[in-house]
Amino acid sequence: MTAQLNPRGDVAVLVPAAGSGVRLGPGGPKALRPLDGEPLLVHAVRRIAAAPSVRLIVVAAPPDGLDAVRAMLDPVAPVRVVPGGAHRQESVAGALAAVPRDLGIVLVHDAARALTPPELVESVAAAVRGGCPAVIPVLPVVDTIKEVGPHDLVRGTVDRAALRSVQTPQGFRHDVLAKAHAAASDPLTDDAGLVEKAGIPVTCVPGSELAMKITRPLDLILAEALLRVAARVR
Ligand code: C5P
């Protein structure tokens, strides 16, 4: 069944989905790889559309696959599809340009985090609504982290208590994200990084194990197992 978005919602979600996904091995754009018989992007959009505050979803798709992506998402939710760029940042900027000014909160979410629960979309949006200009979902770092120099020699051990691994969706006041993108020079891997560079505070909220990034072949296997567990407990 096609989801209905909330016409009174105050949130737009941008989904950059135009990456090639080389780390996942051969097989085309990562967002379009199947997970349990459906493309990652379909899983991601279905969960975003289930978040009650979302009024608009904009997907940045591979430029040669716009019609295919529209056809794929049509039965899932009403989605605007725009061509992606050469870098993630360009894809996000293209999607942001399609968001009307009156939508006050903009979230940026990687299609590769296909199992992200709607509750995480809501908690990030709620923190922005509550007054934070920029919000990121994070998890504690569990591994010991070393800084390594030339010749694989360890330089030192980083105090992991102060480290967090960062997920998406990252949430922003619309004007804050627009200004950060307008001022961006070098491509970064996350949007909060652009906002940090502009000197604007970025607030952490608890992330979710389900928002894991599906990047390597092992991640696909783990994600399929998670889906099976979720189906059993439903
Ligand atoms: O390559 P990486 O894993 O960092 O990509 C993160 C997200 O950004 C993915 O959903 C990918 O499809 C998207 N992306 C994009 N346009 C690019 C490169 C990556 O939309 N040119």
- pLDDT, one tens digit per residue, over 119-162 is 999 999 999 999 999 999 999 999 999 999 999 999 999 999 99
At residue 24, the pLDDT reads 59
Atom number in ligand 1 closest to CA 111: 10
Give all strands (DSSP E) within 101-212, no chain letters. 105-108, 134-140, 145-148, 154-158, 164-166, 170-173, 203-206
Average pLDDT score over residue span 173-177 = 97
Please report which confidence band the pLDDT of residue 233 belongs to, taking 50, 70 and 90 as the band edges.
low
In this structure, which amino acid lies at residue 191? D
Distance 22 CA to ligand 1 centre (A): 11
Residue 184, pLDDT score = 80
Of residues 192 and 184, more confidently modeled: 192
Quick: pLDDT tens for 8-50. 999 999 999 988 765 656 667 788 889 999 999 999 999 999 9
Ligand 1 centre to CA of 87 (Å) is 7
Average pLDDT over every residue of 178-199: 87
Cα 159 to chain centroid distance, Å, stands at 27
Rounded distance from Cα 150 to ligand 1 centre (Å): 29
The answer to pTM > 0.85 is yes
Beta-carbon-side half-sphere exposure of residue 149 (alpha carbons within 13 Å): 5
pLDDT value of position 120: 98
**Best probe residue, ligand 1, of 22, 41, 59, 91 (max atoms within 8 Å of C-beta):** 91
Give the DSSP letter string of 61-85: E-GGGHHHHHHHHTTT---EEEE--
User: Crossing angle, helix 118-129 and helix 40-49, to 10 degrees?
Assistant: 50
Q: Which residues line ligand 1 (CB under 6 A)?
A: 16-19, 30-31, 60, 84-88, 91, 110-112, 189, 215
Query: Which of 110, 166, 167, 168 to mutate to test ligand 1, by most ligand atoms within 8 A of the CB atom?
Result: 110
Provide the pLDDT for residue 223.
95
Q: What is the rounded CA–CA span in Å between residue 90 and residue 95?
A: 9
